Amino acid sequence: MKKTLCLLLTILLTGSLFAVPHGKVLEGLVFKSELLNYDVNYAVYLPPDYDSSTRKYPVVYLLHGYTDDESAWIQFGEVNLAADNAIEKREIPPMIIVMPDAGVTWYMNDYQNKESWEDMFIKEFIPFIESTYRIRAKKEFRGVSGLSMGGFGTLLYTMRYPDMFAACAAFSSAIWTDEEITTMDDNTFNNMFGKLLGSNLKGGARRTKHWKEHHSLDLAKTLPEESLKKVRIYMDCGDDDFLIKGNCALHLVLKDRNIPHEFRVRDGSHQWLYWRTGITEALKFIGRSFNR
């Protein structure tokens, strides 16, 4: 009996020695935006040593997809578990991950500036987060990542605000070729973009000035090369993803303009299994920008 108890105690102690330290997930948090005149919900992942140290950390803003919210990357993407394991293996530096709820705003202002989500994120939300948590509030310690609509937002912020971010990682980004956006069926276009660009636009009229100023494929073609080179870019899209054509088009534009970037095409489609199995590599890519 004593031998059995000793064996069980040894197993328990050994298991505890090799257990991965867990970070803390804070959900149900609210930021009161003056620019939007409504509250923005958000969630935060704090690394395992946050409560036991006084250090400041780099930060990654992690953006959800269309119709999801601030809980998606925790509930379905298990980003907290991925970060815990990668930190424990010293594959990424301890970092804070912030996940805001953007609804279906596409992380941008609408064409009439009635809902200025982009302005809120850059001018209000980032300063609020980086004064509320112990974050190293500088470009070289700030990254952005996201999937689908969040990939659209990731590339939008990367290209429009290159002095804000060190690196980005965009999954299955919502990128469309000119042909795809102009031939998209009316219901799909109006439901997704009517509020942002104007309702009942057809054909080439959909490629408005506002669209071109926010769509990464257009930005990659028109922005100065020195500006595009300011942020390290990582892209990942499944070979069976309905957005693969636009992602490949962006890759080719960046390649033709000699803009350094990483482009991954793995086996998979537009689903959480794909993003969940890719987030660690994305955090590693961004994390390398934080290291000295």
Both structure tokens of 72: 């998606």
pLDDT for res 6? 55
Q: Smallest Cα–Cα separation from 218: which of 202, 240, 197?
A: 197
Phi, psi dihedral angles at 167 (to 5 degrees): -155, 160
Global pTM exceeds 0.85 = yes
246-262 pLDDT, tens digit per residue, is: 999 999 999 999 999 99
Q: Yes or no: say if 62 and 83 are a contact pair by the CB < 8 Å rule.
A: no
How far is it, in rounded angstroms, from Cα 57 to Cα 50? 9
Dihedral angle of Cα 159, 167, 263, 154, to the nearest 10 degrees: -50
Per-residue pLDDT band for 20 (boundaries 50, 70, 90) equals confident
Q: Give the CATH fold of the 21-175+215-290 domain.
A: Rossmann fold (3.40.50)
Q: Smallest Cα–Cα separation from 253: which of 228, 226, 220?
A: 220
Across the chain, what does the average pLDDT equal?
Answer: 94
Domain spans, the chain:
21-175+215-290
Residue 3 in this model has a pLDDT that exceeds 70: no
Establish how many alpha carbons lie within 13 A of residue 2's alpha carbon, considering only the half-sphere containing its beta carbon. Answer: 0
165 three-class SS: coil
Q: Specify the residue for token string 């578990």.
A: 81
